[in-house]
Amino acid sequence: MKLLRRVCAQVSNIRGYCVRTADNKPPKILITGGLGQLGVECAKYLRQKYGRSNVILTDIIKPTPDVVNDGPYIFADILDFKGLQKIVVDHRVDWLIHFSALLSAIGEQNVPLAVRVNIEGMHNVIELAKQYRLRIFVPSTIGAFGPDSPRNPTPNITVQRPRTIYGVSKVHAELLGEYYYYKFGLDFRCLRFPGVISSDPPGGGTTDYAIAIFHDVIRKGHYQCYLKPDTRLPMMHVRDALRALSEFLEAPNETLNRRVYNVTSMSFTPEELADKMIKYIPDFNITYKPDSRQDIADSWPQVFDDSEARRDWNWKPQVDIDDLVKLMMKEVREKIIANGISTSH
Ligand code: AKB
């Protein structure tokens, strides 16, 4: 382990943590946007690996008792640079996971706010990471591509001309991160995720129909889909997403040929997903009423090529569509019951 760390540090001018920090302790990890779609689950996952007190969840929202009982939770506003500096110093942070962002559909409803949160917020965290030599992870998305990109498959490097403010802000984050890597040696890491499916309620994304469908069908036996039945999009269960994030964060720098990688698990359409769900709830009913989210989906990749991630750091998805439906049926039902809501199935 000692030798590996020394090799990591030597072959690169980037601070080589290789799972533990230079002083042989687990990394201290700060998560922004902690109460969004991935934060709470991500904190749980990383706390199991690195210890409860080593993962600090932050947001500007008042947390539920469950979140507070799980581990450290503090207020952090990504638009307040000084406040962020204080947290990094006080808690001796090593790694920063920057989740704060408005997703695709919600971003279109409030572009000025999306610019502030997604673009100004990114400026703050990247400067912070540079100043304090943090390893920084920023998620990107299939939404960083647009109608001029090849859609099936979409390779790691290709034309990126997104038509949503979310996509524009993510291309900006990718380019800024790469620039800081080449210019300052910043250990910037970024994965382009497909639609991430978890039992948490939908959070304003275009791929979120694949979450909402489980909540509505289990509660009411019916779902009205805002995308056409044959709209194919890349997807991933949160379990694979968190494993990808964690394995990528731990990958030694010298194995990485890029700072930004595509990752995916599967691609499906609303119709194909509904067909799989019938096995669990035979009499449920789905109708289709496409809205403005259809235009967004039509400009996004249908099948994502993640061969570079598989080659460089051994990425391999584990959850396929059958596993995903099985997991979601169980997890969403449990969540609905825990919240005291009645179910029709
Ligand atoms: C969205 O739909 O906006 C997100 C994403 C694919 O990045 N889930």
**Mutation choice for ligand 1 from 207, 231, 238, CB with most ligand atoms inside 8 A:** 207
Q: String of b and e for 94-128 (b: at least 16 CB within 10 Å)?
A: bbbbbbbbbbbbbbbeeeeebbebbbebbebbbeb
170 and 225: one domain? Answer: no
Q: How far is CA 285 from the centre of its chain?
A: 30
pTM of the model: 0.93
Beta bridge partners, 235, equal: 195, 266
**From atom 4 of ligand 1, which residue's Cα is the shortest distance away?**
205
142 and 219: one domain? Answer: no
d(CA 279, CA 201): 23
Q: Which of 50, 166, 181, 209 is catalytic?
A: 166
For ligand 1, residues with CB inside 6 Å are 103-104, 141-143, 166, 195, 205-208
DSSP for 47-73? HHHH-GGGEEEEESSPPPHHHHHHS-E
DSSP for 271-285? HHHHHHHTTT-TT-E
130 and 179: one domain? Answer: yes
d(CA 260, CA 171): 10
Counting from 1 in the atom list of ligand 1, the atom nearest the Cα of 196 is 8
d(CA 109, CA 13): 42
**From atom 5 of ligand 1, which residue's Cα is the shortest distance away?**
195
Counting from 1 in the atom list of ligand 1, the atom nearest the Cα of 170 is 7
pLDDT at position 9 is 38
Given the structure tokens 């970024």, which residue do they identify?
A: 190
- Say if 3 falls within a structural domain: no
* The dihedral sign for the CA sequence 134, 166, 42, 276: negative
Counting from 1 in the atom list of ligand 1, the atom nearest the Cα of 206 is 2
**Mutation choice for ligand 1 from 38, 99, 117, 142, CB with most ligand atoms inside 8 A:** 142
* The dihedral sign for the CA sequence 31, 35, 36, 40: positive
pLDDT at position 22 is 73
Cα 280 to ligand 1 centre (Å) = 26
- Say if 188 falls within a structural domain: yes
d(CA 208, CA 195): 7
**From atom 7 of ligand 1, which residue's Cα is the shortest distance away?**
141
pLDDT at position 108 is 98
- Say if 2 falls within a structural domain: no
Q: How far is CA 205 from CA 15, 124, 159, 189, in A?
A: 35, 24, 22, 22
pLDDT at position 21 is 77
- Say if 4 falls within a structural domain: no
Cα 18 to ligand 1 centre (Å) = 30
Q: How far is CA 211 from CA 75, 145, 169, 197, 216, in A?
A: 28, 22, 24, 6, 9
Which residues does 68 contact at the CB level (< 8 Å), separation at least 6? none
Q: By residue range, what is the domain housing residue 296?
A: 206-231+267-300+321-338
**Low pLDDT (below 70) residues in the chain:** 1-19, 345
**Cα angle value 171/176/182 (rounded, 5°):** 130
Query: What total of structural domains would you count in the chain?
Result: 2
Beta bridge partners, 287, equal: 224
pLDDT at position 250 is 97
102 and 179: one domain? Answer: yes
Cα 132 to ligand 1 centre (Å) = 30
**Mutation choice for ligand 1 from 208, 211, 304, CB with most ligand atoms inside 8 A:** 208
pLDDT at position 149 is 98
- Say if 1 falls within a structural domain: no
248 and 333: one domain? Answer: no
* The dihedral sign for the CA sequence 59, 235, 297, 225: negative
Give the pair of three-digit tokens for residue 141: 């998305």
The number of CA neighbours under 13 Å toward the Cβ of 164 is 31
328 and 244: one domain? Answer: no
Q: Is 166 a catalytic residue?
A: yes
